[in-house]
Structure 1
Amino acid sequence: MMIRVFVACLALLLPAVASAQPTLVEIPTLANTHEGLPPIAERVPQEPLVVDLAATGRTEGKYGGEINTLIGRAKDVRLINVWGYARLVGYDENYNLKPDILRAVDVEGGRVFTFHLRRGHKWSDGEPFTAEDFRYFFEDVATNTELTPTPPPYLLADGKLPKFEVIDDVTVRYTWDAPNPQFLPTLALARPPFIYRPAHYLKQFNPKYGDADAIAKMVDTARVRSWAPLHNLRDEMYDATNPDLPSLQPWVPTESATDRRFVLVRNPYFHRITSEGHQLPFIDQVIMSVVDGSLIPTKVQAGEADLQSRGLVFGDLPVLKRGETSRNYATRLWPEANASAIAIYPNLTVADPVLRTLFRDRRFREALSLAVDRELLNRVLYFGLGRPSANTVLQESPLYVSGKMDPPAFDLEKANALLDEIGLTKRNREGVRLLSDGRPLELIAETAGENHIEIDALELIKDGWKEIGVGLYARPSQRDVMRNRAFSGELAIAVSAGYDNGLPSADMSPDERVPVSTIFFTGPAWGAYSMSGGESGEEPDYEPAKQLMSLYEDWLHSESDADRAAAWEGILKLHAEEVLTIGTVEGVIQPVVVKNTLKNVPEKAVYGWDPGAQFGLYRMDEFYFDNAS
C-alpha cells in the first residue's frame, strides 16, 4: 500500500486510459435537471480524465435515475463531497495517489510542486477553472489573516509558507525551503482543504474586488459583523450548504433543498468521461433525506434507500437481511478500515486534577486494557468475525509489526496488581476503589450516540472493570457536544471508532495519532495548542506527548521513505507501549445496502474514511441503474 505520485502524462492517471480522446456522447437525461446548456464538447475539458471502465472491472452505464440515501442530521449533506471524491490528486483502489482534477503533478525533491490543470476545465456554473482560482485561495484566503488567522498547517514547512507562482493559466507552482511530505496526501483526504476557490464568485464578497456598497448591504442581510464572516459564510466548499457556490464535484446542491430533504444534481461540466465518450456521472440526482438516526435500519429494510451505509452497524444485519428479497436489495459486507471498531480514549488533559494524574500513569491505562475481554466482545457483538485490537494498525498495513502492536490477553489478576501498585488499595463497600481524594473511582465514558453497539460494548467492558474495582458508566451524547466537552476538559473518557486509517503506509501523514488537533481525544487540549499556535489549549507537558510531537516533526522534515518509516515506527511504538488508547476489536464488518438495480458498486471493498472516503474510492460517479430511463 505504498503511495506513489504519478507525474507527467495522462496515460498514468488510471490503470488503462484510451490512447485518444473518444467521440463525446450527449447525456440523454440532461434535460431532467438542466436546460439551456452548451453541447457536451463545450462542457468537458479539452483534456478530460478518460476512464476505461472495463480495465477496472466495471461496465458502461446508463444515464438517469436518482440515488436515495438516508442521513441522521442535516449537516451530513456534506457527505456528497466525500462520496463524489473529486480531488486534485486522489487515491485509487490500490491506495496509489494519482492526479484527478489535475492533469499532472511534478514533484522535485519533496519541496517543489508544479500543478498542471486541464485546459478547458469549467466550474459547475460553466465559468473557467484556472490558475486564478489557486491564486485567489493562496493570496486572498489562506494568507489573509481576516479570513484565515492562522496559516493552514499543510501549507507550512519548517513553519514557513511556500513561494506561490502562477506560471500560466493552467500551471501553478508551490516551492518550500524544506520538504513538505504532508502536502499531496492532505489534498486526497475525505475532507480536503480545497486549495482553490471559485474566484469569479467569491470576489463579489471581498472589498478588494467587489463593490463596497453592495458588500455592506449583503453584510446587513446576512446579519454578520463584516465582510470576512460574510465571505466565510458563502465560501463553504465542503459543507454543501450554498447552492450558489460553484463546485468541481460530480453532484452539486440545489435551491430545492429543505432541512429534511436535500437534492443534489449532476455537475454538467464534470471533468471525467469514459472511454466510450460518456460524461460522468451516470446518475442524474442524489437525494439525501434526514431521518432519526435510530430509524435508519428499519427504513432501509422498508426499501427507502438505494445505497446506504450511514447509520448502519454490524448489529443491524438481522434487520437488513429480512428485507432483502421483498425490497430488492442486497446487504454487502465490507470490512472497516478503522484500527479498531470501538476504542476508549482516556483524556490525559482532563480538567479534574486527580483523574489527570491517574490517567497519565501508564500502569492505570494498562490495567484498564488488561480488563477488557476482547474475545468476549468479538463473540457477542461481532459473531467472532473480527480480531482483538490495540487500536494501532491493522495486520494488512505495511507498518504492522507482529507481536508488538497486538493487545494484551484478558488478565484481571495482573490488572488488579497494577492498580494496587499505583496505590489504589482502598475500596468502598461496593468494591469500588477510592481515588486519592476519597472519591470512588467511577468513570463516565461518553459516546456520540450514533452507534448503539458502543453502548453494548461498554456494558460488557463494565463487568471486567468492576472486577478490578473501577466503576464505568456510559453516557450517550452528540458528536459536537462530546468534542467540545473533551476540549474543555469536562470529558474524562471518550468512546468512539478507532483511528480512521488502520492501513497506513509511511508516506501517509501520521497526524491522526499525534496531538495536532482537538479531535485527538487522548489529549484534546494539546491538540488545541498545536492548532492555535499556542494561543489556546495546553502545551504538551507529558513526556509521551512530547515524544509524539518530536516524531511528527521528524516525519514532516523527512526526505526519504526510510526517514518517514522510522518516524511512523516510533509513533506506533509509543502508542503500543504507553497504551495511549484502548482498542477492542478490528476488522469488523460495515453493512452496505445496495439496490439490486444499482450497478458498478463493488461486491468486495474496504470501508474507510481516510484513505477511502467511504464510497469515494470506488468512484460513485460510475454507479448507474440498469433500469434507468
Structure 2
Amino acid sequence: MSKSSTVVAAIGAILIACLVTGSFIKKVDSQSMPPRPKQGAVHGGTLRVAISKLPPYNLIPFDNSWTGIFLNQFESLIKVDGSLHYYPSLAKSWEVSSDGKTYTFHLRHDVLFQDGDKFDAKAVKTTFDALYNGTLARVESYKDGVFRQLKVVRVIDDYTVQIQLHSPDAAFLTNIATLAGSIASPTSIKNLQKTDLGNSLKGTGPFELAEVIPDQRLVYKRFDKYNWAAGNARHTGPAYLDKVVVEKVSDSAVRAGLLTSGQVDLIDSVDLNDIPLFKDNPNFQFVSVPENGVPWVWYFNVNGFATDDIRVREAVQDSLDVDSLVKNIYQGTAKHAWSHIPSTSNFYSTQLEGAYSNHVARANALLDEAGWTGRNSEGIRTNAKGEPLELVLLDRGLPGRDKYFTEAAQQALRENASIKLTLDTVDQAQGFAKRKENRYSIFHTSVSGYDQGISFIYLFSATGVMNFSKIRDPRLDELLTKQSEAITLEDRTRYLQEIDRYVVLEKKLVLPIAERQSNVAAKSTVHNVDTSFALKRRYIGPYAYDIWMN
C-alpha cells in the first residue's frame, strides 16, 4: 500500500489549505487567506455590467474554461490561486498517492445542484466520464487534453471519489481546480440536447442563469440555497447580489460612456485612452491585474519561408528593441515579456532577461551569413534567387495596442535589418487552412492558463494542437514529458525553465513580446471589484460572489 500525502482542510475560524504537487506539500495558514469583508456589506441589488465579448463557443463551461463568468454557475472539487495554492471547494479534503497516480477526494455532504440534484460521488463520476467520452464538451477534447492520463474514476462511497491516472500528471490538480473540472448535475447532463447552447446545464455555483440572448445578454439570479463557498472566498453563505446583468458592448469608448453616465456599474477592457476617466477619480475605481498564462508571443514557423533558417529567426529577435517598443506603446498597461513564462508565475526565472533583442549589428551579420545579401528596389534584402526577405505574419485580428506594436515592428524590421513583415489577416477557418499548408512565417497568440506546463505541451509537443512553430524535436518532447510527470515542484520548475531556454534561446522558436494586464472600471459604490477576475486571463466576467453594492 503506497504512502499518501494528505491535504487537510479545516473549515471554520482557521482554514488550512495545502499545495500538493506529487509528494511536495506547502501549507497555507489562516494568515495567508483573503481578508473577510468589512462590516456593513449590503445584500441585494443588481450589478449591471458591459463587457467586450461574451463566451465564443457556447454556454458550456468545459468549452470555455478560461471564461470567468461561468464561475458564477459552476464549481470544481477544489480551487487554486495564482501561486498554485489549493483550497477546498466541493471537496473538503483530498489525498494524493506518493507515486502521483491516485487522487482521493472527500466531498462535502451539504451541496445541492441548482436543479435540486444532490451533489455526491456519483455526480462527480457522471461529469468526468461524460467529459472523457466526449459527450459533454463540444469543442475541447478532454480525452486528449485535461484527462489524457485518466485511467478510471471510482465511487468509493456516497461522498468519496477516487481518480486513477495511467502516469503522473503534475498539472492534474491545477486542471480540475478550474472550470475544466467543474461539476454539472447528472440530470442536466442527461437532458442536454445537441441543439442546446448549454444554458440548460446546472451547477452548484452561487448564481443561476436566468436569461440568455445569444451573443448579446446574460442574466444571472442568486441561488438562495448556496452555502458552501470555497476556502479562498471572502464570505460564506449566499451571494450578496440579487442579480447580475451582463451585456456585450464591443466598442471600448461606448463602454466607458455607459459607465460615466451611470447606465452600468462595471466595464471591462478599459482602453488606455479611457483610463484617466476612472483612475484617481473618487466616483469610480480602476482595477488592473496581470494576465495569467503564456504572454503575447510571436511563433516562428520552422517550415515557413525564411524562418526555416534559425539565423533568420534569431535576426528577427535581435532586430527589435522590444523593451522600448512595449514601454512606449503600452504605457504601463503591459510589460516586456522576456520569457515564454510570465513573471508572475512560480516557474519564472530571470535567466532570459537581456539575453536577446536590440542587437542590430548581430542581426545583420546573421542575415548576411544566411545568404540574404542583396537588395531590391524597395531596399528589402534578397537571396541568390532574387527572392525578397518577406515574412508573413498570420493574423486573426490584432486588438488595440497589439496592432500599434506590430506596425512599429514592421517599420523597425525594415529600417534595422531590411526585412519586410507582411500581415495576412484571416478568419478562423482561413487561419487553420494556412497553418496546415505552412503559408506563414510567424503566428502570434497568447494562451490562457496559469500552469505553463499545460500550455507548453499544446504549443511544442510533436502532436500539440497549438504547435504553431511546427517543431518536431525529440529532445523537446522528452523535456515536456519529464515536466508533466515530475513528482516534486522543484523538479518540474527545473524542467519548465529548461524548456523555456530551449525554445527561446537555443532553437529561436519564439519572440516573447508582452505580459498584458486585464482591467476593469466600476463605480465607487461597487465593493470587492478585485474578486471579479477569474484566475485565468481573458476577462469575460465578472465572478460576482463576493461583490456587493451600497
- Correspondence for 1:576: 504
Amino acid at match of 1:408: Y
- Correspondence for 1:135: 125
1:486 aligns with 2:435: yes
**What does 1:422-437 align with in structure 2 at a 5 Å threshold?**
422-434=370-382
Residue 288 of structure 1: which of 234, 246, 250 is its match?
246
Taking the aligned partners of 1:290 and 1:427, their CA distance within structure 2 comes to 49
Amino acid at match of 2:444: V
Partner SS for 1:461: helix
Q: TM-score, normalised by structure 2?
A: 0.80
Alignment size in residue pairs? 515
Taking the aligned partners of 2:264 and 2:385, their CA distance within structure 1 comes to 53
Q: TM-score, normalised by structure 1?
A: 0.71
- Correspondence for 2:37: 58
1:106 aligns with 2:95: yes
Taking the aligned partners of 2:452 and 2:423, their CA distance within structure 1 comes to 34
**What does 1:173-572 align with in structure 2 at a 5 Å threshold?**
173-189=162-178, 191-194=179-182, 196-204=183-191, 230-231=193-194, 233-234=195-196, 241-272=197-228, 279-293=237-251, 295-299=253-257, 300-309=259-268, 311-312=269-270, 316-322=271-277, 328-337=283-292, 340=295, 342-350=296-304, 355=305, 358-383=306-331, 387-434=335-382, 438-449=386-397, 451-467=399-415, 468-477=417-426, 482=431, 485-487=434-436, 489-497=438-446, 499-500=447-448, 510-511=456-457, 513-515=459-461, 517-523=464-470, 541=472, 543=473, 546-572=474-500
CA contact 1:448–1:476 (8 Å) conserved in 2: yes
1:88 aligns with 2:77: yes
Partner SS for 1:343: strand
Partner SS for 2:314: helix
- Correspondence for 1:38: none
1:154 aligns with 2:143: no
Would you tell me which structure has more strand in proportion to its own residues?
2
Taking the aligned partners of 1:512 and 1:12, their CA distance within structure 2 comes to 40
- Alpha-carbon spacing, 1:68–1:434, altered in 2? closer, same or farther (3 Å): farther
Taking the aligned partners of 1:376 and 1:317, their CA distance within structure 2 comes to 18
Taking the aligned partners of 2:176 and 2:367, their CA distance within structure 1 comes to 45
Could you tell me the percent identity over the aligned residues? 20
Amino acid at match of 2:108: R
How many Å apart are 1:572 and its aligned residue?
Answer: 1.4
How many Å apart are 1:8 and its aligned residue?
Answer: 3.0
- Alpha-carbon spacing, 1:439–1:291, altered in 2? closer, same or farther (3 Å): farther
- Deviation string 1:163-211 (CA, Å, 9 cap, x unpaired) is 332111211111235323221111123x5144x4422233346xxxxxx
- Correspondence for 2:22: none
Amino acid at match of 1:331: F
How many Å apart are 1:99 and its aligned residue?
Answer: 2.2
- Alpha-carbon spacing, 1:103–1:484, altered in 2? closer, same or farther (3 Å): farther
- Alpha-carbon spacing, 1:485–1:441, altered in 2? closer, same or farther (3 Å): same
Q: Which runs of 5 or more structure 1 residues have no equivalent in the other structure?
A: 18-50, 206-229, 235-240, 524-539
How many Å apart are 1:286 and its aligned residue?
Answer: 1.9
CA contact 1:185–1:509 (8 Å) conserved in 2: no
Partner SS for 1:455: helix
Taking the aligned partners of 1:284 and 1:131, their CA distance within structure 2 comes to 30
- Deviation string 1:541-585 (CA, Å, 9 cap, x unpaired) is 3x3xx3222111112332333432332132112123122211234
- Deviation string 1:461-518 (CA, Å, 9 cap, x unpaired) is 1122102121123355556764564355444422334x546x7688x77435533543
**What does 1:38-53 align with in structure 2 at a 5 Å threshold?**
none
- Alpha-carbon spacing, 1:619–1:414, altered in 2? closer, same or farther (3 Å): same
Amino acid at match of 2:272: L
Residue 47 of structure 2: which of 27, 46, 67 is its match?
67
Taking the aligned partners of 1:152 and 1:518, their CA distance within structure 2 comes to 10
Taking the aligned partners of 1:295 and 1:475, their CA distance within structure 2 comes to 27
- Deviation string 1:96-119 (CA, Å, 9 cap, x unpaired) is 012212222111121111112211
Q: Which runs of 5 or more structure 2 residues have no equivalent in the other structure?
A: 18-29
Taking the aligned partners of 1:399 and 1:493, their CA distance within structure 2 comes to 26
CA contact 2:37–2:234 (8 Å) conserved in 1: no
Taking the aligned partners of 1:619 and 1:259, their CA distance within structure 2 comes to 18
- Alpha-carbon spacing, 1:469–1:505, altered in 2? closer, same or farther (3 Å): closer
- Deviation string 1:222-247 (CA, Å, 9 cap, x unpaired) is xxxxxxxx45x54xxxxxx4332212
Taking the aligned partners of 2:92 and 2:525, their CA distance within structure 1 comes to 33
Taking the aligned partners of 1:493 and 1:442, their CA distance within structure 2 comes to 11
Amino acid at match of 1:112: T
Taking the aligned partners of 2:137 and 2:547, their CA distance within structure 1 comes to 38
CA contact 2:211–2:220 (8 Å) conserved in 1: no
CA contact 1:367–1:416 (8 Å) conserved in 2: yes
Taking the aligned partners of 1:52 and 1:75, their CA distance within structure 2 comes to 36
Taking the aligned partners of 1:324 and 1:265, their CA distance within structure 2 comes to 30
Partner SS for 1:137: helix
- Deviation string 1:407-457 (CA, Å, 9 cap, x unpaired) is 524122111111111111222111112356543222332444352211110
CA contact 2:348–2:497 (8 Å) conserved in 1: no
Partner SS for 1:550: helix
Amino acid at match of 2:423: A
Taking the aligned partners of 1:252 and 1:435, their CA distance within structure 2 comes to 62
